[in-house]
Amino acid sequence: MILGALVADAAAMGLHWIYDQQRIQDVAPEAPEFFTPDKQNYDGVPAYFAHPTRTAGDLSQYGEQAMVMLRTLVAGGGHYDRAAFADRFRAHFGYGGAYVGYIDHATRDSLDNMRRFEDAAHACAKNLDFDGDPQIPKALVERALPMLQRYSGNMLLQMFEAEISTNDSDSNVVAFGLTLINSLRALPAMTGANDLQLPAIAKLPALVAMHAARGSKGENAFDQDVASAVRVTNDNPVAAHYSHIAAHMMLTAVTSGDAAASVNAGRSVAGAQAADLFQTAAEMAGQSNPTVTKHFGMSCDLPFGLPAAAHNIATATSFCDAVRSNIYSGGDTCGRAILVGAVMGAVHGMGGTKGIPDAWIDRLGVKDEAKQLSSMLLH
């Protein structure tokens, strides 16, 4: 599942965000995968040239986010932690981070929200009376920030008091810390972007694969982790709902190994509007995925991308077929690739006539790291 999502994303990156399907056919009549982005391919048609610094085999920002979650889960010993994911996300995509490339709306706004909340927390600390070392309030804020994401209510107070009491025996510092944490609780919560686009599901493959391999403490634990992770970047009810659908599609692909069952699982947890879109996709089974994608919408919104991806999953005969159909469909190919690649990779595995081609895996720039981390997470 994890490799499938990453390979599909990298395969689509070179022709990402070309909205003229005929142009893609003209540029790559037989094999549209693993192109190095070339501005000439984007000229004169509806398109956005977002990846000028990327080369063939690199990930888009979607695949990069998938890797952030994979690294977070491995570092956490196979346990999801919202604060750890948010911190690693910010470190990777934010100022001075390892990622250099296009920053989408959800990522940009989420990073801005993180910074604004941090600034508000430090301003709050400055407004409280403290007679000791002026560096102590700053340090306490830094300790409080991750706890505000992990805990709430009395549990937050107890955990923060235990944290500062362990590290500082000064009763004045402990008293100030408790005043501070109560003040920080009154601030508007730190949220992800109010965004309903496909970046919401980019972090899901590793999280879903981990739950499938290690088992959840009931379905609620799975759904809660998915919702929490999604809201780090996309704090929007539509994004949360469609991500819930995508997560159940991925989970069923792993547990059943069946593409049709995966699509049915998504539909079974869909609300009325999303279920109608899935029904329309099913009724268009005899039409090509580019035609269906154009019908729903080629851009980044989840209500466009998920039914188009579901149609692709339901009708494609192999991993290669699905990935190529997705690329020829144009628009936000990389956004849809995460779901398409994760499901088709889980269903068909690696190699053979239907699985992820070994040659495609070899072209993936993060192949070695992804393989190693996936093995550590799932075994």
CA-to-CA separations, 248 to 101, 142, 211, 217, in angstroms, rounded: 30, 36, 11, 16
Tokens of 30: 């037989």
Q: Quick count: other Cβ atoms within 10 Å of Cβ 371?
A: 14
- 332: annotated binding-site residue? yes
With a CB cutoff of 8 Å and minimum separation 6, the contacts of 52 are: 37, 39
- What b/e sequence results for 310-343 when a residue is b if at least 16 CB atoms lie within 10 Å of its CB, and e otherwise? bbbbbbbebbbbbbbbbbbbbbbbbbbbbbbbbb
Angle 267-270-275 from CA coordinates, rounded to 5°? 65
Closest of 355, 350, 369, 78 to residue 213, by C-alpha:
78
Binding-site residue set:
332
Binding-site residue set for Mg(2+):
332
